[in-house]
Chain A
Amino acid sequence: MHGTYEANLAMHHCDVLIAVGARFDDRVTGNIAKFCPQAQIVHIDEDPSSISKNVKVDIPIVGHCDQVLSEMIHLLRSGDIRPDAEAIARWWEQINEWRAMDCLKYDRAASTVIKPQQVLEKLYQLTGGKAFVTSDVGQHQMWTAQFYKFDQPRRWINSGGLGTMGFGLPAAIGVQLAYPNETVVCITGEGSIQMCIQELATAKQWRTPIKIITLNNGYLGMVRQWQEFFYGNRYSQSYLESLPDFVKLAEAYGHVGMQITRPQDVEGALREALAMKDRLVFMDFLTDKTENVYPMIPAGAGQNEMLLV
């Protein structure tokens, strides 16, 4: 639904799709009837009931991913099957052309309002991409997936399937207990964080020094975005009146609270918070109220039918 332009088009135009431990969820496929129209689909999965459940598969391989991939590596090593390097190079040329669209661009020069993407890009730089990052559900979750460029397993922890608001803070406590010396960040929104806010007390009791980054735009942002695109700007119940003072709230639970309102303060505040190794810091970033997540594949559309900035 919010994958990059190049990834969506690569899926749409590929001639072989090799799915590994994936379940063709509707947020990935878009309209099934328009999904990967030219591709033969190979599906490697441990769970036989996942095969051809949503999308008809041409070559099913039921088995443990690691074992099947090992066998594929073995076959490549022992045989003379090699991909056509020239074809692959041409394919990458095409993908890079799509990539040049720069589909995740946003107004980096904004000087009066904090762009949520800016916070995540800065966080990625300052943590070297090594943090454990949990999230809640909504726009902040999509931006985290887009702008925090994870390259190790088990670092990106979010409710991708059920989409449970309130997941991020308690999940971060669980991660921090398992890895007391690692940086654990919870990216959230002012809506989601209130759904399990009581766990700030658990975090105090167990001294888990989580960094909470609230991208506070005053709206249930993803609901607001759908209402803007598909419901004629009728923002029914998505504006959050009467938000608490999160700084005081964090302090009431015995933690450090910060509110950040200006773009030029984003980096300094993040540095300050990350340097507090033994404290939970609750950072309330007041962000652009009207920013949307792009690209977006509307419900029912194919992967080549994206809304772009």
Chain B
Amino acid sequence: MELTGAEIFVRCLIEEGVEYVFGYPGGAVLNLYDALYQQDQVKHVLVRHEQGATHAADGYARATGRPGVVLVTSGPGATNAVTGIATAHLDSIPLVVFTGQVPTALIGNDAFQEVDAVGITRPCVKHNFLVKDVADLADTIKKAFYIAMTGRPGPVVVDIPKDVTSKRINFTIPKKSTSVLQSGDQRSSDTDQEGGKSHAISWRPVFYTGGGVILGNAAARLTELTRMLGFQLPIR
């Protein structure tokens, strides 16, 4: 089936089970907004400033455990989103942030509303992408969601030039990202080797727990363990 980049974008969001996109339109993302307009599965929440979009998506992600999704335009749209991206980065919150970009032919020309979104966001994302070819779009979106949600979660930026959203190609939904490793048992610990040896005999133990317990949906397990040990929860 032949689809435009914008149509592929929307199909991919639906495929990822996205319920809400928080965003703000502008020149570079008009094709994406036009594709959003022509469907009703993904709801778009129009904010009044791009910082609000990233924080709203962040609140959604923290409360549900699902990734928060943001769509903003190029230039000031992207820079206004940076504070929210950095906020999510420091607290390891899964966001997928789509930024519009000027057409590929104009990148580097100081075009209207052009900033190097990938460069600006590099130190405050878990990963970011610039999609230069519509053939890579679906696969990149799949990877972005996977990276945002796995391991230590975090924000992923996908920068999409305007011409990529208008080009047409034959499209099939990627079932599995082609170059992403599936997570297996990644645990490495020295307890196996030294299982019999007692490292520490404790009379005054303390559990110090952080956001990783919540992000990893381990709260119930933590409660179970501390109760088993006869510790109370928590010290306030």
Encoded as 1 (CB less than 8 Å from any B CB) or 0, chain A from 137 to 180 comes to 00000000010010011100101111010110111111101110
Considering the chains assembled together, what is the distance between the CA atoms of A70 and B209 in angstroms?
A: 16
**CB-based contact B55/A166 at 8 Å:** yes
Residue on B with the closest CB to A172? B59
Encoded as 1 (CB less than 8 Å from any B CB) or 0, chain A from 11 to 55 comes to 101111111111100001000000000011010011100100000
- B218 surroundings in chain A (CB, below 8 A): 20-21, 64-66, 69
Report which of B68, B90, B236 forms a contact with A7, defined as CB distance below 8 A.
B236
Which of B6-14, B107-115, B197-205 participates in binding chain A?
B197-205
Considering the chains assembled together, what is the distance between the CA atoms of A173 and B87 in angstroms?
A: 17
- A83 surroundings in chain B (CB, below 8 A): 202, 205, 229-231
Considering the chains assembled together, what is the distance between the CA atoms of A132 and B152 in angstroms?
A: 23
Considering the chains assembled together, what is the distance between the CA atoms of A58 and B189 in angstroms?
A: 12
Report which of B22, B187, B210, B217 forms a contact with A23, defined as CB distance below 8 A.
B210
**CB-based contact A21/B216 at 8 Å:** yes
B97 at the interface (CB under 8 A from A): no
**CB-based contact B52/A14 at 8 Å:** no
**CB-based contact B200/A76 at 8 Å:** no
**CB-based contact B87/A161 at 8 Å:** yes
Which of A201-209, A211-219, A225-233 participates in binding chain B?
A201-209
Q: How many residues of B contact A (CB 8 A)?
A: 71
Q: A63-B187, A166-B51, A166-B55 are in contact. Are A87 and B87 (CB under 8 A)?
A: no
Total of A-B residue pairs, C-beta within 8 Å: 261
**CB-based contact B202/A15 at 8 Å:** yes
- A23 surroundings in chain B (CB, below 8 A): 210, 212
**CB-based contact A63/B55 at 8 Å:** no
Question: B7 to nearest A CB, angstroms?
Answer: 25
Q: A40-B200, A174-B57 are in contact. Are A66 and B189 (CB under 8 A)?
A: no
Considering the chains assembled together, what is the distance between the CA atoms of A92 and B230 in angstroms?
A: 11
**CB-based contact B208/A22 at 8 Å:** yes
**CB-based contact A67/B187 at 8 Å:** yes
**CB-based contact A149/B87 at 8 Å:** no
Residue on B with the closest CB to A83? B229
Q: A16-B205, A61-B191 are in contact. Are A205 and B63 (CB under 8 A)?
A: no
Considering the chains assembled together, what is the distance between the CA atoms of A201 and B48 in angstroms?
A: 7
A73 at the interface (CB under 8 A from B): yes
A68 at the interface (CB under 8 A from B): yes
Considering the chains assembled together, what is the distance between the CA atoms of A206 and B215 in angstroms?
A: 27
Q: A46-B151, A59-B199, A202-B48 are in contact. Are A92 and B187 (CB under 8 A)?
A: no
12 contacts between A and B (CB under 8 A): A7-B235, A15-B203, A19-B207, A28-B208, A65-B221, A69-B222, A69-B224, A69-B225, A72-B225, A132-B63, A162-B83, A162-B89
20 further contact pairs, Cβ within 8 A, besides A153-B219, A196-B49: A14-B202, A16-B206, A18-B208, A19-B209, A20-B208, A20-B222, A22-B210, A40-B200, A46-B151, A59-B190, A63-B186, A68-B189, A76-B228, A83-B230, A162-B86, A177-B56, A179-B63, A198-B49, A202-B46, A202-B52
